[in-house]
Amino acid sequence: MPDWAVSGDVLLRGIFQSPLLDVDLETGLRFRNYAAYCTTIGKLAGLRGRKILPGHRQFVASVDRPVLFYLDRLLSRAAALKPHRHGGSVAGIVRQLFGDSLRNAFHVYLKASETVFLLDFLDDPGRLRSVLRQIGLFEAVADRYRQATASR
């Protein structure tokens, strides 16, 4: 059916996906989730107007809604992380942000993965801005984007 799209877990309603810290099996180097996410956002815009069937939940009403939800979380978390970004290792940053509240090793891994993703964003915020301008969503998040990326 040409007006339907199965998105898998890329578009989830009301869920902030944790970008896992992965290794590219071809190169042995770290997979760049942030760069892949920016590319994916551009591709998702091509699904506008289709009925979206995600991997979880019954449906997604529009492409823009979950993308904007995700961007809101990404930008607010990046703004909170920014003061700690030069605090040493990823493990050190996670300890600064969460203290001893994370006891489960998997939760630590999730937060470390998210931290790496956010650090990649803070190192290259223009990549996201560019794709959002291309698909017409930048103005919807411009204030949050500026808060997350402004120098202090």
How many CB atoms neighbour CB 7 within 10 A?
Answer: 18
Cα–Cα distance list, 101 to 65, 78, 149, 152 (Å): 31, 20, 27, 28
Helices and strands, number each (H, E), in the chain: 6, 2
Report the pLDDT value the prediction gives residue 92, as an integer from 0 to 100.
87
For residue 136 the two structure tokens come to 């017409």
The whole-number pLDDT of residue 83 equals 86
State the pLDDT confidence band at 44, using cuts at 50, 70 and 90. confident
The pLDDT value recorded for residue 145 is 96
For the chain, what percent of residues have pLDDT higher than 70?
82
Q: Contact, 134 vs 42, CB < 8 A? A: yes
Residue 94: what pLDDT?
86
Predicted confidence at residue 23, as pLDDT, reads 76
User: Which residues, including other chains, have CB under 8 Å from residue 28's CB and lie 6 or more apart?
Assistant: none
Q: How confident is the model at residue 12 (pLDDT cuts 50, 70, 90)?
A: low
Confidence of residue 56 (pLDDT cuts 50, 70, 90): low
Which pLDDT belongs to residue 143? Answer: 95
Give pTM, 2 decimals. Answer: 0.83
- Using CA of residue 118, residue 122, residue 128, residue 129, what is the dihedral sign? positive
Select the highest-mean-pLDDT range: 51-60, 76-85, 101-110, 120-129.
120-129
